Amino acid sequence: MKETADYSKLLHLYRRAGLGSLPPREVPLRKAVASLFQISESFTPIEVISAAEVARQRQETRQTMMAGADPKATVKDRLKENQELTRDLNVAWINQMATSQEALRERMALFWHGHFACRIQQQPYLVQNYLHTLRRHALGHFGDLLMAVSKEPAMLQFLNNQQNRKNSPNENFAREVMELFTLGRGHYTEKDIQEAARAFTGWRYSPEGTFVFQERLHDPGSKTFLGRTGTFRGEDIIQILLEEKQTARYLTEKLYRSFVNEVPHPARIDALAEGFYRSGYDIGKLMRTIFEADWFYDESNRASLIKSPVELLVGMQRTLSTTVTDKQSLLYVQKVLGQVLLYPPNVAGWPGGYNWIDSSSLLFRMQLPFMLAGTLESKVQSKNDGDVNTQALNRRGRSLKATIDWDRWAQTFQKVPPKELPTVVASRLLAVLPAAGVLTDITQKAGAYTDRTAQIRYLTLAFMSLPEYQVG
């Protein structure tokens, strides 16, 4: 027995848009899509450090220095504290993804985190504001998101725009805004980068962590950018980029590869991009069009995407109502699998796809269900990434501290006849069923359990540890 065709579509939708949540039964597909968007209209801020706390830190540091304390020791202590707060923010976001009803908003924010990749561990308040912007605008209009992210102090620092002055322009920020955020490579010239960099001079941020425009550092002269000429400022450059249809095409293809299939479909992408452009870059409208399209549910688009480490971890947590009680465990899993939130490898973000999988990460992925269930300790160590916290995580993270609500999970199969249980559990968890021999072997081993909940527990862990569970 397999799930009905309609419920199979719902499962596919929730794997892609709902971070692995189980969809309600007997709900029409369009109504389910509408519900995902309606619920995600809500927005719950995440806060691990307040503006008042930042002000207190700055005052305390000044007083300590004035009292004659060792400057290096004072700075070192503050950096250590701030790095810990950034880790707290990481864990808070993971927990939000794992428990929030606003699953689509969080999934979109995860996409935008990779698109607008940013890494500055030493200033958690700036990182928190950056994350707030991604999550708040995740389903809004891309123009608003682009402008807001571009003015985030975290991004200005990460891309060196603090060093961009009229007499000494820094082109890094301008280059990445075009190459990674809007047009993509090959759709602008070096001269466009130089002129855009001049327009962005004066974009800075205050010690309190707010955007400021410093006119005295801005180059007010005439600039020619993408065929237009004027005394442009940064806002003008962003508006011109939004007027380019290539921006809509670039973004649409990237979203298609992330939510539909890594193999692009030019005709579909062209049609979607045209609608995206005409809508004024309405992200929610574009995603709704994708999720309501018949082709989204084609067999060729199912099991076609490798789950990112965060999707894998959060999907397990949501499916099994899992609570990870130790933040070090969550950090350890991310480090081993190669995706640490708020710590992307570079400005291009994570490459994704098959890059998520190597011999050690695949082994760990297949062990992870048993680790969450407390029946296995991992011998896989996270790779050395230069973070002094990594060695400590390797020591403490091998045994994950988590609890799973097995009774709640078992209740979802209450009406399933015993003989059909293995196939139904597999259908709920896997986008594609395993080979007949594998299914038979797991079914036979599950038969050794007389208690139904124990049997479901075994089936669940067995199916989650298969290669088929790595795709969605």
Nearest to 244 by CA among 110, 348, 146: 146
Nearest to 120 by CA among 171, 160, 173, 72: 160
Average pLDDT estimate for 62-79: 73
Nearest to 264 by CA among 303, 311, 300: 300
pLDDT at 267: 98
- Of 301, 317, 341, the residue at which a domain comes to its end is 301
The secondary structure of 51-77 as a DSSP string is: HHHHHHHHHHHHHHHHTT--HHHHHHH
Q: What is the pLDDT of residues 8-52, one digit of tens each?
A: 999 999 999 999 999 998 899 999 999 999 999 999 999 999 989
Task: Fill in the DSSP letter of residue 187.
Answer: S
- Of 286, 301, 316, the residue at which a domain comes to its end is 301
Kindly tell me if the per-residue pLDDT of 337 is higher than 60: yes
Q: Give a yes or no: residue 432 inside a domain.
A: yes
Nearest to 354 by CA among 206, 470, 465: 470
User: Sign (positive/negative) of CA torsion 275, 42, 15, 292?
Assistant: negative
**Where does the pLDDT of residue 79 fall: very low under 50, low under 70, confident under 90, or very high at 90 and above?**
confident
**Where does the pLDDT of residue 4 fall: very low under 50, low under 70, confident under 90, or very high at 90 and above?**
confident
Average pLDDT estimate for 418-440: 97
Kindly tell me if the per-residue pLDDT of 397 is higher than 60: no
User: What are the φ/ψ torsions at residue 139 (nearest 5 degrees)?
Assistant: -120, 15
- Of 269, 301, 333, the residue at which a domain comes to its end is 301
Q: What is the pLDDT of residues 227-259, one digit of tens each?
A: 999 999 999 999 999 999 999 999 999 999 999
Give the structural domain span for 259: 5-39+244-301
Residue position matching structure tokens 């561990």: 121
* Percent with pLDDT over 70 in the chain: 94
Q: Average pLDDT, whole number, for the chain?
A: 94
Kindly tell me if the per-residue pLDDT of 78 is higher than 90: no
pLDDT at 394: 59
**Where does the pLDDT of residue 308 fall: very low under 50, low under 70, confident under 90, or very high at 90 and above?**
very high
Q: What is the pLDDT of residues 341-374, one digit of tens each?
A: 999 999 999 999 999 999 889 999 999 999 999 8
The secondary structure of 289-309 as a DSSP string is: HHHH-GGGGSGGGTT-SBPPH
pLDDT at 390: 60
Q: Which residues contact 186 (CB under 8 A, 6 or more apart)?
A: none
Please count the helices (runs of H) and the strands (runs of E) in the chain.
22, 6
Q: Give a yes or no: residue 252 inside a domain.
A: yes
Q: Give a yes or no: residue 453 inside a domain.
A: yes
Kindly tell me if the per-residue pLDDT of 185 is higher than 70: yes
Q: Give a yes or no: residue 392 inside a domain.
A: no
Q: Give a yes or no: residue 325 inside a domain.
A: no
Q: Give a yes or no: residue 22 inside a domain.
A: yes
The C-alpha atoms of residue 220 and residue 198 are separated, in whole angstroms, by: 8
Q: Are 329 and 400 in contact (CB under 8 A)?
A: yes
The C-alpha atoms of residue 369 and residue 371 are separated, in whole angstroms, by: 5
Kindly tell me if the per-residue pLDDT of 388 is higher than 50: no
**Where does the pLDDT of residue 387 fall: very low under 50, low under 70, confident under 90, or very high at 90 and above?**
low
pLDDT at 418: 95
The total domain count for the chain is: 2
Structure tokens given for 245: 């249809």
The secondary structure of 237-286 as a DSSP string is: HHHHHHH-HHHHHHHHHHHHHHHT-SS--HHHHHHHHHHHHHTTSBHHHH
pLDDT at 100: 96
User: 239: how many CB neighbours lie within 10 A of its CB?
Assistant: 13
Q: What is the pLDDT of residues 89-139, one digit of tens each?
A: 999 999 999 999 999 999 999 999 999 999 998 899 999 999 999 999 999
User: 45: how many CB neighbours lie within 10 A of its CB?
Assistant: 10
Q: Give a yes or no: residue 440 inside a domain.
A: yes
The C-alpha atoms of residue 362 and residue 358 are separated, in whole angstroms, by: 6
pLDDT at 5: 85
**Where does the pLDDT of residue 70 fall: very low under 50, low under 70, confident under 90, or very high at 90 and above?**
low
pLDDT at 121: 82
Q: What is the pLDDT of residues 126-173, one digit of tens each?
A: 999 999 999 999 999 999 999 999 999 999 999 999 999 999 999 999
Q: Give a yes or no: residue 237 inside a domain.
A: no
